[in-house]
Each structure stands twice: as structure tokens, then as C-alpha cells.
Amino acid sequence: MIEVKVTNEQVDRAMRELKRKLIKEGLFKELSRRKFYIKPSVARRIKRSQAEKVRKKEAARERDRMLR
């Protein structure tokens, strides 16, 4: 459970800290992911394309390192 203590009645600061913690936890990504149902076949396709993007990005970084 995420807790944020409010000190000296600084509610705005506590709200910012709570938002940071929720982002770090990945809550907002999870909410947007669960907003609509995604068929398993579509989910696999999305996962595969994201993995391909990561591989391409890593390959580009490796090429840049080799050129330096």
C-alpha cells in the first residue's frame, strides 16, 4: 500500500509525491492498458512489435558504439 504523509499542512506537495509514487509503480500504464479489452492475438502482435522496436534500438546503439 502506498502511503504519503502530509507534514505542515503541505497537501500540494504530498499530492505531487503521491503522483510520483503512482507513476513509478506503473499504475497509470496499467489503467490505460486495461481501459479496453484486447484480444490475445492482438496482444501477442503488439508485444512482438514492441520487442522488435527494442531490438532495432539496441542494434542502432551497438552500431553507434562501434563507429566511435
Q: Which long-range contacts (CB under 8 A, 24 or more apart) does 6-12 make?
A: none
Residue 44 has pLDDT above 90, yes or no: yes
Would the pLDDT of 36 be above 90?
yes
- Compute the distance between CA of residue 22 and CA of residue 47 in angstroms, rounded to an integer: 24
CA distance 16 to 58: 34
Which tens digits make up the pLDDT trace of 2-31? 889 998 989 999 999 999 999 999 999 999
Q: How far apart are CA 47 and CA 39, in angstroms?
A: 12
Report how many domains make up the chain.
Answer: 2
Q: What is the pLDDT of residue 1?
A: 84
Pair 2, 26: CB distance under 8 Å: no
Task: Clarify whether residues 46 and 29 are in a common domain.
Answer: no
User: Do 46 and 20 share a structural domain?
Assistant: no
Give the count of beta carbons closer than 10 Å to the beta carbon of residue 45.
12
Domain, as residue range, for 25: 1-36
